[in-house]
Structure 1
Amino acid sequence: MADLLTPVSQTYRKQAHNEEFLSVSKPAEPATAPTLEFNGTSPEEALEVLKSQPSYDTLLCVLKYLQKGTRGKQAFDIRIPGPRCAQIIHVLVTEIVPNYSTLLRESSEGQSGGALDVLLACLTSLTGINAALTYIRALTREAKSDPKGFKNPHVVFNLSFTLDLLGRLLQADGGLKQLWSSISPVDNAVQVRPMRQEFISLLASGRISSFSAEAEDLCRQQSKLDEEVWVANGKRYVDWLGHGLVTWIRHGVSEEDIKLAAEVAARAMRLPHSENLIKTLFTELLLRGAGNQTTFGELLGYFPPLQQRKVLLIILKLLSNLYLGSADSSEGTDDDPIISAVAGALRDVIAKDENQKDYLISWLTGASGAGLGESCGIRRAAVAVLADDKVAISTVLEKSLNQFGDQLYIRHSPMLQQEAHAQVLLLSAGYTHRIAPIKLTVLLRSSAYLNTVSNRIAASQGRGRFLGMVVGEALSGLVHGKETKLDFKMDELDTSEAKWYKALVHVSDKIGPLNPLRALLSPSTTSKAPRPAKQAEKVAPKLSRAPRQSGFAIEEIKDDEEQDDPELIPYAKPDSDAEDSDDDPTLISRDKPKAPVYIRDLISYLRDTETYDKQKLALATAPTLIRRKATYGTEVTSHAEELAALLVGLQDKFDLDAFHDQRLQGMIAIVVAQPKKMGQWFAKTFFDGDYSFSQRASILIVLGLSGREIAGFETSEYATAAQFPSKALPTRVEKHYIPPSSSSTGRLQTPGSNLKALPPNAVDKLAQSLSQTFLAPLAAEAADAATGPDALKLSSFTSRLNAQSSNSSKGGSKARTRGVRSIPNTTASLIASSFFFPLTSRFQAAMASSSREIIFQPYLLAVYLKTLALLLHAAGPSTLALPQMTAELWDLLLGVRAQCLGEQGVTQAVLFALIALLDVNEGDMRGLCERQGREVVESMEWVGGVFNNTRGGDAGGDGEENEVKMLAAGVLIRLREAVDKYQAVLMGDLIGLT
């Protein structure tokens, strides 16, 4: 076969070529770009060198050249925006920082003026920060583009390096002043205007915090961050911005710079935690700026009008919280230096600005209340600021008097708001009488004063009548003689509280210096945002075990007699301890802390959030220790607020067992120990504190459960454990003397009446129990109907309710099981004044503030409404303030009807609150229809719509819709019964109602 193939031609190659062709080629050495020499001639040369991966020394030379810049005909400053500067900064941010960041930081440790400082000096400008933000945004988008994870691992590292760079740029010395100095040298006004707007937008729009937070979250997912990124924390960023503005203004800036600072601050008011910004500006510029107190007023004068009003409201609240304490009816009326200093601070804020003065007048007389729930001291200071202006103080008096006597105001306004306005009325009347006595004399002869007194006396609420009589006697005592002045001759007007109200007309506070406020300030903080230390590992140390004994042997001796004795039970073998299997002695902790026996030790344990043993001991012993120390000494009284703040903000870092239960029990113990003080504190903290939704919900649960415990509906196991040995017999002896409690005492046995453990839905469980108690008689009545279903066809869910409720009747008994019981008037008054009214009144004020989005969160709103219902139920029918409590709760329920659309949880909470309201007022339904006729009709129409538009109701059904329909049916039956029975009473209120 091979002979048949004849080659056409043959070619021979040399030996060298053949070997080269057959040989395996070796990999070529990587070609390295020649390092360019930098001569420092032009920015173009610097840009080329930066692109060519320079050595460290060459990079340092380029950075120093860029920092120094050039002068002369070809002037160049990298901080001034321009095309060439933008290119250089882009290369520095996207290439130099990711590749050289670690080397620059290591070479600059412990020395100032190193390579890292030079790099930061080149990038500390508007263009540099924008470049860092743009690169962070681009890396974030690239990371999010892959749903399965990061395609390129370098993205995470570049993000972490750029975030660190951004934080260091904002921390640079000079802060905002240095940033603006990069723009101010520009002479062209056309170029400065857009750069000015960009400067304001960059700092106050929230881009820095939002972009950084998004990038930080991505880095956290990949565990590439060891330190906290402070620029991603909105609160810390606002603090940094406030301190930066203070430093900028203090260094002697021009009027244009103050205007620019005012624009930045006014724009930043839209950011979260804007209250901290105003607090920093107010504290550092006005209170600490002893030599230049007018700076803050001048700065505030450049704010827009709406922002000025918001700033004034924040400052009033700030002064009340920091210096004037909590509300107390026993406050003195003598001249107080703190109140005088607060009045001086308010005068400097207003700075003779008529608009600001009008805002202060509207705050004193507005519908939101003059510092609702705050101390009377802030109202005294505000009125003292206006005391020298005859027109202003007369305006406050007239508006307050007309509002105080308005019938709708008396009927629908929260009681705390009416008390605050009564104080303003009395204070302004006293100042008016001293400035223009004839003005007050004419006013008391007018119809406004007469109508005010008559409307107040005719009010259905006892507290409203009390305030009207106090105001009438106080004002009459200023104008009329001793024999002709108004005197109602009632015992309640001779109490200490009534005398305190009457003494307000004689208060005369002077505007004083700010030294008392400065003395209470903490040392000034630095304007830089501190870099947090590395987070300690959240690893719970293992429990220590006792050292093993050695040196002797244990011999077991058997005794035949003992072995044959059947009454002697041998001890069980101890379980094996997992800790004994640990072979590493370094993991054994032999210095375990002891349980705290003093409140100060408990506070120190709670503050030590990095020690597992202390956190566990503190939570376990807090409920018992607080209850035990409540009536012995002043430990709990002096540290109640501090303890409460620590427990509310405590985080479960170690995944402790029963953490939430023990934390709630600790807060309940504080409220039970100091109910009058801490009930108001928790109500205020719920609306004003900087807490999460879950922490706010825990506050509501604490208020609800502690109120029921104070009323006697609940008994905590910690209350018995907290008793001293002299007050309780041993358990094994006590059982021979105290018989077990019987359910035949007539007291309502509510499921969960012994609070051994608090589930996360403790309020929901109580609400469900009380709802079943209310609906059980309705199920019995529906079952007794012999001919067909009743008006609402309740037969469809009667069987289901009987299956759910252990209290439902099986026969034809129509006797209703009372869901409430009477408690002492003092306890009921305490629940109303310290728990219920602070919650309802502050809700009305929060609706007009920035807290509106928080309180209308569906879950939080549902818990809030159920808490109010539980507190009303705990107060019971014997509460003297029951009409006012009913009116405030009913107005609130009708006001949140719009929030029920699409939210079954909120609807269920509203219906349960109506159930509690009707149950407590069951003994006085006629009076309820007389006082709340329109509310009865409106509620009946709304509940009927809820019942008709809600699916469910099938026998044996389940779900939230079935619960809502059952509650709606129960409420609707009771309301229709009241309407049918008291039609004549309701007829007057029904006229004109469409």
Structure 2
Amino acid sequence: MEELLTPISQTYRSSNQAGGDLISLANTTKAPTEPPSGFQGSSPEEALEALKGQPGYNDLLQILKWLRDGTRGTHPFDIRKPNPQSAQVVHVLVTEIVPNYWTLLKESSSSQKKSQPADLLLAGLQSIGGLNAALTYIRALLLEARKDPKGLKHSPATPNLVSALDLVACILKHNTHIQSIWHAVSSTEDNAGKVRALGQDFVSSIAGGKVVSLAAEAEDVLHQASLLEEPSWIANSKLYAEWLGNNLVDWARSNPSSSDLKICAGLTGRGLKLGHSDLMTKILFTGLVLNDEGQPTFAKLLDLLPSADQRKVMLIILKLLSSEYLSSVDTDEAIEDYPAVWAAASALQAVVGTSSVRKAQLSTWLTGATGAGLGETCGIRRAALAALAEDKEAMFSVLESTLGLLGDQLYIKHSPMLQQEAHAQVLLLSAGYVHRKSPIKLNVLLRSSNFLNTISNRIGASQERAKFLGMVVGEALSGLIHNEDKRLNFHMDTTDSGEGKWYKSLVGVADKVGPISPLKSQEKPKEKQAAPKPVKETPRPAPKPARSMPQSGFIIEEIEDEDEAAEEEDDDLVAYAKPDSDEEDEDDDPTLINRNKPKAPVYIRDLITYLRDTENYDRQKLALTTAPVLIRRKANHGTEVSAHAEELATLLVGLEDKYELDDFHTLRTQGMMAILVAQPQKMARWFAKTFFDGDYSLSQRASVLIVLGISGRELAGFETSDYSDVASFPSKKLPAKVERHYEPSASGNRYIAGSTSLKPLPPNALDSISQSLSQAFLAPLAAEAADAATGPDVLKLSSFTSRLQQQQSPSSAGPVSISRTKPRGVRAIPNTTANLLATSFFFPLTSRFQAALHSASATKRGILFESSLLTLYLKTLALLLHAAGPSTLALPQMTAEFWDLLLGVRTHCVGEVGVSGAVLFGLMALLDVNENDSRGLCQRHGHEVVESVEWVSGVFDRTRGGDQGGNGEENQVKMMAAGVLIRLREMVEKYRALLMGDMIGFS
């Protein structure tokens, strides 16, 4: 047993104390001291043997100081230089010294100011060999811990994981450590081939994802073993990408050599694949491009990247400029001088530099079928064209390519309208530059068949918006080269409107490359502000009870009969209810009662303060319960809501249920709906952009879709929120007994005036609405199928009527009447917002979805095609299309975009009953809204009709459904497929002649 015991310290005493008793010896024993150090610092072999011999604390410090002196050139042995001797020393330091002494070294470093023992150890390990040794040790500990039969909690490897993980975090702590680690290696090697190999290993170790993956796995093991005290930043890929970007910025600012710049380029290229390319590019952009001294270095850095990485960086910078710096450029300011646009043009010119590759990529972005900043303001397009303004050939190429793209019939028919508007702006802006640089080229181009075909194809399009863009482009370009008497003029009210004049004024915009200082001034306001600390409210003194004065004289009291008094009582005078008991008073301990509760906010700025104060339960609860009413009440009075709408929406979308409040999700959704209804034109686009570009969870993105769908129906008059009446001012309301005579009877979920009971929003609100609309669509088809005696419809829908009746919800307004006349929902108000729903709600959602499909981000595409989110997205679009109604001028364009989108997601319906049901519901909405234009559907969308018939027929055959088998969702999908199939086949039979070209191969 003696060989299993290892002494941890030794105590020496003099010989004259040997005969003393034990008590006196205990009192006279000196403090533990160590024998003289045996390390003389002569060779690395001696240091290695001393480290292997379990040195004491003082011996270890002497060894570490000797190793540190070698890194400073005091003696020839440098532990950072890769060779067999340094590798052995590093291995012993990581596997033997760190597990035993790391905690003690850190504690000693925190207590001493001049000498830092932990830094002595880190000085020898801040190298490629030290980092790789630490990572290898973590991998070995993970393998040992997972294979230990005692379990993770009792494995001896898990405590060592804590020190090893902390060691790696300290090696890579500061923003200059990457540069120092590489310089330590490159300065000690003269062989170019060996330096190149070391550079590849260095890039792979730092930016290859090894550090993040191993640290995350180690944290998972420590969490299971209950040893994880605080998460490490190296296990967070976002924090690690931010650290890598800051290191690259500091390195690039130090005027690196060409070889060092290649290493920076390798780290940048690998770092862009860590999953946070947007964040890393933003750090490089703000640190180098917005710094005049770093612009040449940034251009050289991009030149060393592959063309694919250069394109990724270019697209991220364009998106960054449009969303964070040029979002305030409005259409009214397009013809004016705008310093932010000039600064953005200067930044883009610095990014492009003299590279023909990036110049071609910028031109492709402007003319590509999915580029030009879809959904963004015109400012980013102005900046991009200003950056190319000096190149005549590039500008003319942009003009010619955009003109051909806008005239393509397939592009007109299938491209999102927001995309077409962006390219129309690019065409007009580039035409102005070409006219000022070379008017002869523009004159020749406008006389070509390309221009004539573009205008004629646009005017002949079925979409009104496509015609409008063609007319304004024709009038604007003709006005550049023709006189007043010869210029093209359609004499249309739409082209002479404010929007038409704005489009035609784009040919006169002449932006220039200006100073970059306006972008620097916008950096600070974009930073996140810390949540303000809760303010302690001073307790108010309790009011003194009033003294009861003795009454003197006679008291005359009139006593009335209770029944007569009740009859004469005015109905408007409502008796006060008995106050409820205070929840705080129920506590047994009076010291825990909080008498200083915050008051409900009465201003929007107070509401924002309450929402930011996430550490105060009372404020969070008051903010959520007050937000829907307060925002609706302030919507049309002053500019409080309009000035803080985006800030309010950002706080509500990202708010978390920290205190598990009752009806949290309902109140949060109602608050977002209040903002959207108050500022629909602005906030609908903001919510659509947030859904695709925001860094939010699936549930938060789903809440954005629910808000868009229900708010759109409320604006169209189909739905009325309970909060809309409660939020109205009393001066604008009739007395309850008078209003009762003018209020129409309630139907469904219609709010009854005078009622103060607010119903919570159900979590499946969109599903309930879609189900009711599906029943209304299927009801007449079920009646016809039930009345028919023979035919395939009866075979397919034998129990159609009975199943439809079973789907009726007992909480609905009543059973759907089975009649040959299709029931129509009566709107509460006239639909005067159809154009608003199309331009601000529907088109931003469809256009950004198409752009996301072509995005380089695999994460974004993965989120969009998550089955539950995709189902909700398709239902939201269908509800918005139905809310816009058949009288919407943009209905042909909405139909075309939505139908293309539905057919494009067919592959994601395989094995997903919910997604299949959402696509079928979308087809129902299309057919329902276009019921009076069936011939137009077959004429304009014959190919889509034939493809839809084939796909729906396959869904009907593959879905089990029916009374004999299948669950409720499958039954619903089969009914919807049957209803859509009948409607489509009726159209095919009726307009077979129009579909002959599209029915080739159709059976």
Instruction: State TM-score, norm by structure 2.
Output: 0.88
Distance across 2 between alignment mates of 1:574 and 1:365: 66
CA shift, 1:182, in A, is 2.5
Query: Which amino acid counterpart does residue 932 of structure 2 have in structure 1?
Result: G
Q: 1:739 to 1:876 in 2, by over 3 A?
A: closer
8 Å CA contact retained: 2:717, 2:831? no
CA shift, 1:523, in A, is 9.8
Partner of 2:926: 917
Q: 1:249 to 1:839 in 2, by over 3 A?
A: same
Partner of 1:93: 94
8 Å CA contact retained: 2:153, 2:226? no
8 Å CA contact retained: 1:820, 1:920? no
Match of 1:829 among 835, 848, 854: 835
Match of 2:604 among 579, 588, 599: 599
Partner of 2:18: none
Alignment of 1:756-795 (within 5 A): 756-787=759-790, 790=793, 793-795=796-798
SS at match of 2:293: coil
SS at match of 1:873: helix
Query: Which amino acid counterpart does residue 669 of structure 1 have in structure 2?
Result: A
CA shift, 1:283, in A, is 1.2
Partner of 1:853: 862
CA shift, 1:314, in A, is 1.0
Matched, 1:954 2:957: no
Distance across 1 between alignment mates of 2:216 and 2:735: 57
Distance across 2 between alignment mates of 1:329 and 1:853: 34
SS at match of 2:489: coil
Q: 1:466 to 1:590 in 2, by over 3 A?
A: same
8 Å CA contact retained: 2:71, 2:80? no
Distance across 2 between alignment mates of 1:105 and 1:500: 66
CA shift, 1:735, in A, is 6.4
8 Å CA contact retained: 1:544, 1:590? no
Q: 1:90 to 1:791 in 2, by over 3 A?
A: farther
Write out per-residue CA displacement over residues 185-234 of structure 1, whole angstroms, 9 at most, x where no aligned residue.
22233432222111111222222222222222333344433433212221
Q: 1:791 to 1:137 in 2, by over 3 A?
A: farther
Partner of 1:457: 459
Which range is displaced more, 213-222 or 876-885? 213-222
SS at match of 2:332: coil
Partner of 1:717: 722
Write out per-residue CA displacement over residues 82-141 of structure 1, whole angstroms, 9 at most, x where no aligned residue.
333333333333343333333223222263541122222222222222223223333334
Partner of 2:400: 398
Matched, 1:338 2:347: no
Partner of 1:46: 47
Distance across 2 between alignment mates of 1:869 and 1:748: 24
Write out per-residue CA displacement over residues 879-904 of structure 1, whole angstroms, 9 at most, x where no aligned residue.
11011000000001111111112222
Matched, 1:654 2:665: no
CA shift, 1:547, in A, is 11
8 Å CA contact retained: 1:81, 1:127? yes
8 Å CA contact retained: 2:367, 2:398? yes
Query: Which amino acid counterpart does residue 911 of structure 1 have in structure 2?
Result: L
CA shift, 1:905, in A, is 1.7
Alignment of 1:750-899 (within 5 A): 756-787=759-790, 790=793, 793-805=796-808, 813-818=819-824, 826-849=832-855, 850=857, 851-899=860-908
Write out per-residue CA displacement over residues 259-302 of structure 1, whole angstroms, 9 at most, x where no aligned residue.
210111012111211111111111111112x2343111111111
Distance across 1 between alignment mates of 2:807 and 2:525: 61
Distance across 1 between alignment mates of 2:393 and 2:522: 34
Query: Which amino acid counterpart does residue 676 of structure 1 have in structure 2?
Result: Q
8 Å CA contact retained: 1:70, 1:77? yes
Partner of 2:304: 302
Partner of 1:906: 915
Which range is displaced more, 855-864 or 880-889? 855-864
Distance across 1 between alignment mates of 2:510 and 2:71: 66
Matched, 1:681 2:698: no
Distance across 2 between alignment mates of 1:786 and 1:214: 67
Q: 1:133 to 1:604 in 2, by over 3 A?
A: farther
Match of 2:423 among 414, 421, 424: 421
Distance across 2 between alignment mates of 1:820 and 1:139: 69
Where structure 2 has 5 or more consecutive residues not aligned to the other structure, the ranges are 11-33, 549-557, 567-574
SS at match of 2:954: helix
Alignment of 1:67-86 (within 5 A): 67-69=68-70, 75-86=76-87
Query: Which amino acid counterpart does residue 490 of structure 2 have in structure 1?
Result: F
Distance across 1 between alignment mates of 2:758 and 2:885: 21
Q: 1:65 to 1:654 in 2, by over 3 A?
A: farther
Alignment of 1:502-651 (within 5 A): 502-522=504-524, 580-583=586-589, 585=591, 587-651=592-656
Distance across 2 between alignment mates of 1:190 and 1:45: 32
8 Å CA contact retained: 2:843, 2:894? yes
Q: How many residues align?
A: 945
Matched, 1:931 2:940: yes
Match of 1:370 among 372, 385, 401: 372
8 Å CA contact retained: 2:169, 2:233? yes
Match of 1:351 among 327, 349, 353: 353
Q: 1:649 to 1:577 in 2, by over 3 A?
A: closer
Where structure 1 has 5 or more consecutive residues not aligned to the other structure, the ranges are 1-24, 526-531, 555-560
Distance across 1 between alignment mates of 2:4 and 2:387: 86
Query: Which amino acid counterpart does residue 38 of structure 1 have in structure 2?
Result: F
8 Å CA contact retained: 2:131, 2:171? yes
Partner of 1:982: 991
Partner of 2:21: none
Partner of 1:741: 745
8 Å CA contact retained: 2:334, 2:379? no
8 Å CA contact retained: 2:152, 2:225? no
Query: Which amino acid counterpart does residue 124 of structure 2 have in structure 1?
Result: C
Distance across 2 between alignment mates of 1:331 and 1:990: 50
8 Å CA contact retained: 2:71, 2:79? no
Distance across 2 between alignment mates of 1:296 and 1:572: 71
Which range is displaced more, 227-236 or 300-309? 227-236
Distance across 2 between alignment mates of 1:292 and 1:170: 24
CA shift, 1:387, in A, is 2.1
Match of 2:951 among 919, 933, 942: 942
SS at match of 2:599: coil
Q: 1:551 to 1:88 in 2, by over 3 A?
A: farther
8 Å CA contact retained: 1:108, 1:116? yes
Distance across 2 between alignment mates of 1:176 and 1:351: 27
CA shift, 1:142, in A, is 3.8
Match of 2:215 among 179, 188, 212: 212
Distance across 2 between alignment mates of 1:875 and 1:589: 50
Query: Which amino acid counterpart does residue 774 of structure 1 have in structure 2?
Result: F
CA shift, 1:791, in A, is 5.9
Partner of 1:11: none
Percent of counterpart pairs with the same letter?
Answer: 60
CA shift, 1:827, in A, is 0.5
8 Å CA contact retained: 1:126, 1:182? no
Distance across 1 between alignment mates of 2:949 and 2:233: 53
Distance across 1 between alignment mates of 2:387 and 2:1002: 45
SS at match of 1:986: coil
Distance across 2 between alignment mates of 1:72 and 1:595: 68
Write out per-residue CA displacement over residues 419-465 of structure 1, whole angstroms, 9 at most, x where no aligned residue.
00001111111111112211111111111111111111110000000
8 Å CA contact retained: 1:78, 1:122? yes
Write out per-residue CA displacement over residues 812-858 of structure 1, whole angstroms, 9 at most, x where no aligned residue.
73111235869756411111101100010111111111122221222
CA shift, 1:762, in A, is 2.2
Partner of 1:13: none
Match of 1:286 among 285, 289, 299: 289
Distance across 2 between alignment mates of 1:721 and 1:387: 56
Write out per-residue CA displacement over residues 918-960 of structure 1, whole angstroms, 9 at most, x where no aligned residue.
1111121111111111111111111111111122222585332
8 Å CA contact retained: 1:626, 1:673? yes
CA shift, 1:739, in A, is 4.8
The Cα RMSD (Å) is 3.6
Distance across 2 between alignment mates of 1:724 and 1:811: 39
SS at match of 1:983: coil
Distance across 2 between alignment mates of 1:755 and 1:969: 38
